[in-house]
């Protein structure tokens, strides 16, 4: 049974089985609604937004770091995009907003790597700090885009629905899965990133610049969170003080459910995407079935721990059966 | 030893301080091609610190390092690897979470172009090169290069690292306690490999606590103590017992070769 063993060695094995079970259960319970276009469109949209953040979080978890600030960065970049658009035009505003995101990522990296601080502390500080900036920015007016701005093609590129009636954000998400899977598993940088997460000392001894690898991962994580924010407001240009709240925790949960090990070096982009899909699908279905929304939060907690237990068990088991 | 040859590596008056701790004190030492040098000393004597300068992980506080007659001014693992200096350590050098093939070229992965412009890791080459080492350096026949390194035994991991070092046409192989935690047979295998490398004309620096083991292998023995070089002698001139006595006594007086 080497094929079966090979399958379970993949970090996304658990979540693939989880998603199959999800389909079976929801088909049995609520087929009519589950396969409705409305549900599919809703789930794909939410998966795309959270999934982009979860991909970035996965990159950092892979190198044994974490970014707790993504929820606030997501909100701040979205607000920056909206606020600058009327004065400098949408394309420039898009670029400026992403520069803001990249700068935050770089700042996180510098504080963690140069300052030798825990990424947990640095980004927790960022979570509060950028949320505070959002409070200030939305104090007098909650920025939003006017109809003539949102109808521009550049905004539609991120917020419209051009193919199959699904949001463009979903296609961007699929593109991000492909691009980041390619980066992670098909080019030298990805190999360096996985090595850095697995054994930073060994990676360094082979000439891999652990600092550069991690810095790029921090920047990518912030950029993806910001991009997710832009996609959100390009579709629904409303903001408020709570925009992006709790996104960081859901993204981390999605990454872990998708098979990323917090000990580093193990995880995948597809796993993070499926983990996100699993969470958003369950949330959507619980709402449809009329369950109180508080159930969802408890459910996330349960699935998170359950997935961690299963993944750890599988990894240990596989290593045991393989060694001499 | 032919003293008229130019040394491959020349270290002159090396001092290295970590804060107030002086890890190396005025160490001068030459290393030649085709030589197996045993670097011996107690814990904290400065063995590992000395070779970490050669492997580019530390820069000396003062002193000069020459490689092939050229002064080295910048110290970085990547630069050391580019010069052909490979350090083999028990716990470092391979990432358990990656496949053997992915570990093989770590840091200098071969890339091919798909459609003429998209760079992609050249897995065929990675598998081929790593399979050759797996076959030629005494790993089990059942080892698959797509398996994680975590599945190798300690001796296999060491053999694989040595094989990689040879394949990359290195000039210097530094072996830091290469036989710790290995079985008797694996230890003999690794020591055989060290001798083979020397016979191929490489400089092998062999670091160990075990003076008796290295006395059998080495051409020359260097003993460090408290960051000082106290012995630098062709092995024929001194017995392992006498050398052990020096380490045990903690004599600070330098013994001339």
Domains of chain A: 2-322 (1.10.3470)
Please calculate the CA angle B23-B25-B27 and round it to the nearest 5 degrees. 115
Q: What is the pLDDT of residue B4?
A: 67
Estimate to the nearest angstrom the gap between the alpha carbon of A123 and the chain centroid: 15
Query: Residue A166's beta-bridge partner residues?
Result: A163
* Residue with more model confidence, A261 or A70: A70
**So what's the pLDDT on residue B251?**
56
Measured in angstroms, the CA of A135 and the nearest CA of chain B are apart by 43
Test B94 with A322 for CB contact under 8 angstroms: no
Look-up of token digits 């408290």? B226
CA distance A260 to chain B (A): 13
Q: Do A199 and B109 touch (CB under 8 A)?
A: no
Whole-number Cα distances in Å, B102 to A194, B107, B108: 10, 10, 10
Q: What is the DSSP letter of A114?
A: I
Chain B window 24-83: which residues touch A at a Cβ cutoff of 8 Å? 55, 57, 76-78, 81-82
- Measure the CA–CA gap between A220 and B100, rounded to whole angstroms: 28
Q: Count Cβ neighbours within 10 Å for each residue of A72-83 and write b for 16 or more, e otherwise.
A: bbbbbbbbbbbb
Q: How many CB atoms lie within 10 A of CB B161?
A: 26
**Count of Cβ atoms closer than 10 Å to residue A258 Cβ:** 34
Q: In chain A, what residues touch B87 (CB-CB under 8 Å)?
A: 205
- Cα–Cα nearest to A324, from B140, B4, B81, B39: B140
Residue of B nearest to A318 (CA): B151
Question: Cα B212–B217–B222 angle (5° rounding)?
Answer: 70
Question: Residues B216, B217, B219, B220: is their CA dihedral positive or negative?
Answer: negative
pTM: 0.85
Q: Which of B93, B121, B147 sits opposite A202 (nearest CB)?
A: B93
Report the distance separating Cα A173 and Cα A51, nearest Å: 7
Which among A194, A207, A319 has CB closest to B77? A207
Assess contact for A63 and A214: CB atoms under 8 A: yes
- The answer to whether the Cβ–Cβ distance between B92 and A199 falls below 8 Å is yes
On the question of pLDDT at A132 being above 50, the answer is yes
- Helix spans in chain A (H): 2-9, 13-34, 37-62, 70-88, 90-109, 119-137, 147-150, 153-159, 168-186, 188-198, 200-205, 210-235, 247-257, 269-288, 294-322
pLDDT computed for residue B20 by the predictor: 85
**pLDDT grade for A322, boundaries at 50, 70 and 90:** very low
Among partner residues B76, B121, B150, which is closest to A319 by beta-carbon distance? B150
B112 touches chain A (CB under 8 A): no
Is B158 an 8 Å CB contact of chain A?
A: no
Judged by a CB distance cut-off of 8 A, whether residue A207 touches chain B is: yes
Q: How far is CA A218 from the centre of its chain?
A: 13
Q: Which residues of B touch A179 (CB under 8 A)?
A: none
Give B220's strand partners: B37, B234
In chain B, which stretches have pLDDT less than 70?
1-4, 251-257
Chain A residues whose beta carbon lies within 8 Å of the beta carbon of residue B151: 319, 322-323
Name the closest residue on chain B to residue A316, using Cα atoms. B150
Contacts of B83 in chain A (CB under 8 A): none
The per-residue pLDDT for B192 is 87
- Nearest by CB to residue A188, choosing from B77, B78, B109, is B109
In the predicted structure, residue A149 carries a pLDDT above the cut 80: no
The number of residues making up chain A comes to: 324
Checking if the pLDDT of A94 tops 80, the result is: yes
Q: Do B106 and A186 touch (CB under 8 A)?
A: no
Is A266 in CB contact (< 8 Å) with chain B? yes
Percent of chain A with pLDDT over 70: 98
Considering only alpha carbons, which residue of chain B is nearest residue A190? B121
B93:A194 CB<8 A: no
Any A CB within 8 A of B120 CB: yes
What pLDDT is recorded for position A324?
36
Q: Tell me the pLDDT tens digit for each residue of A179-208.
A: 999 999 999 999 999 999 999 989 988 889
The pLDDT, as a whole number, for residue A64 is: 94
What b-and-e string marks burial along A126-155, b requiring 16 or more CB atoms within 10 Å of the CB? bbeebbeebeebbeeeebbbeeebbeeeeb
Give the mean pLDDT of A252-263. Answer: 91
Task: pLDDT band for A306, please (50, 70, 90 cuts).
Answer: confident
B-chain CB neighbours of A324 within 8 Å are 153
Q: Residue A323: its chain B contacts at CB < 8 A?
A: 150-151
Say how far residue B108 (Cα) sits from the centre of its chain: 19
What ranges do the domains of chain B cover? 1-84+171-257, 97-169
- Nearest CB partner across the interface for A187, out of B91, B92, B120: B120
ipTM of the complex: 0.82
Q: How does pLDDT run across A34-56, given as a tens digit for each residue?
A: 888 888 888 999 999 999 999 99
Does B191 lie at the interface with A, CB-CB under 8 angstroms? no
Establish how many alpha carbons lie within 13 A of residue B233's alpha carbon, considering only the half-sphere containing its beta carbon.
Answer: 19
| Helices (H), ranges, B70-183 | 77-83, 100-104, 123-136, 154-167
- Separation of alpha carbons A191 and A184, rounded Å: 7
Q: Which two structure tokens, joined as six digits, stand for A245? A: 């709240």
Taking alpha carbons only, the member of B29, B32, B24, B40 closest to residue B2 is B32
User: Nearest CA to CA, how far is A311 from chain B (Å)?
Assistant: 15
Burial B183-216 (b: 16+ CB within 10 A, else e): eeebbebbbebbeebbeeebbbbbbbeebebbbe
Which chain B residues are within 8 Å of A188, Cβ to Cβ? 109, 111, 121
Q: Phi, psi (5° rounding) for residue B31?
A: -125, 140
CA-wise closest residue to A4 among A13, A313, A317, B99: A13
d(CA A84, CA B237): 80
Nearest-angstrom CA–CA distance, B109 and B92: 18
- Give the C-alpha separation, A309 to A321, whole Å: 18
Of A191, A205, A264, the CB nearest to B102: A191
Question: How is domain B1-84+171-257 classified at the CATH fold level?
Answer: Rossmann fold (3.40.50)
């Amino acid at each position: 049974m080497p094929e079966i063993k090979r399958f379970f060695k993949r970090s996304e094995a658990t979540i693939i089985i989880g998603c199959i079970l999800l389909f079976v259960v929801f088909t049995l319970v609520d087929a009519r609604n589950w396969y409705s276009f409305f549900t599919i469109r809703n789930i794909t949209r939410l998966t795309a937004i959270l999934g982009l953040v979860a991909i970035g979080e996965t990159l950092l978890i892979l190198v044994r770091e974490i970014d707790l600030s993504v929820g606030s960065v997501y909100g701040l970049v979205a607000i920056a995009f909206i606020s600058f658009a009327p004065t400098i035009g949408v394309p420039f505003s898009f670029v400026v907003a992403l520069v803001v995101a990249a700068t935050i990522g770089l700042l996180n990296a510098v504080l963690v790597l140069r300052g030798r601080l825990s990424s947990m502390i640095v980004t927790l500080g960022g979570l509060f700090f950028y949320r505070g900036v959002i409070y200030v920015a939305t104090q007098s007016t909650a920025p939003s885009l006017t109809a003539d701005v949102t109808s521009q093609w550049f905004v539609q590129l991120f917020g419209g629905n051009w193919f199959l009636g699904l949001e463009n954000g979903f296609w961007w998400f699929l593109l991000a899965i492909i691009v980041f899977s390619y980066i992670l598993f098909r080019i030298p940088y990805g190999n360096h990133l996985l090595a850095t997460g697995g054994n930073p000392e060994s990676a360094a001894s082979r000439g891999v610049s652990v600092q550069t690898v991690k810095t790029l991962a921090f920047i990518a994580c912030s950029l993806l969170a910001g991009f997710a924010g832009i996609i959100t407001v390009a579709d629904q240009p409303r903001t408020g003080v709570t925009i992006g709240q709790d996104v960081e925790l859901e993204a981390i949960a999605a990454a872990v459910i998708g098979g990323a090990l917090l000990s580093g070096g193990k995880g995948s982009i597809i796993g993070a995407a499926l983990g996100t899909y699993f969470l958003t699908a369950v949330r959507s279905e619980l709402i449809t079935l009329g369950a109180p929304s508080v159930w969802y939060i408890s459910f996330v907690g349960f699935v998170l721990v359950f997935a961690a237990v299963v993944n750890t068990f599988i990894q240990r088991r596989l290593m045991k059966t393989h060694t001499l | 030893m032919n003293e008229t040859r130019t040394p491959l590596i020349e270290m002159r008056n090396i001092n290295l301080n970590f804060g107030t701790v002086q890890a190396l004190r005025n160490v001068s030492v030459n290393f030649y091609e085709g030589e197996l040098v045993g670097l011996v000393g107690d814990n904290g004597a400065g063995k590992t610190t000395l070779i970490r300068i050669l492997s580019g992980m530390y820069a000396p506080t003062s002193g000069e390092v020459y490689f092939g007659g050229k002064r080295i001014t910048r110290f970085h693992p990547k630069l050391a690897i580019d010069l052909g200096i490979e350090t083999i350590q028990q716990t470092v050098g391979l990432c358990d979470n990656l496949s053997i093939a992915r570990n093989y070229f770590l840091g200098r992965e071969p890339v091919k172009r798909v459609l003429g412009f998209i760079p992609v890791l050249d897995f065929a080459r990675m598998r081929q090169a790593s399979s050759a080492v797996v076959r030629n350096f005494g790993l089990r026949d059942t080892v698959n290069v797509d398996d994680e390194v975590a599945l190798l035994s300690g001796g296999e991991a060491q053999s694989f690292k040595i094989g990689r070092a040879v394949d990359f046409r290195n000039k210097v192989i530094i072996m830091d306690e290469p036989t710790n935690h290995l079985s008797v047979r694996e230890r003999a295998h690794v020591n055989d490999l060290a001798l083979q490398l020397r016979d191929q004309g490489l400089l092998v620096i062999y670091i160990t606590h075990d003076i008796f083991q290295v006395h059998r292998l080495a051409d020359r023995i260097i003993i460090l103590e408290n960051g000082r070089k106290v012995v630098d002698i062709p092995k024929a001139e001194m017995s392992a017992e006498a050398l052990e006595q020096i380490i045990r006594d903690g004599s600070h007086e330098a013994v001339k070769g």
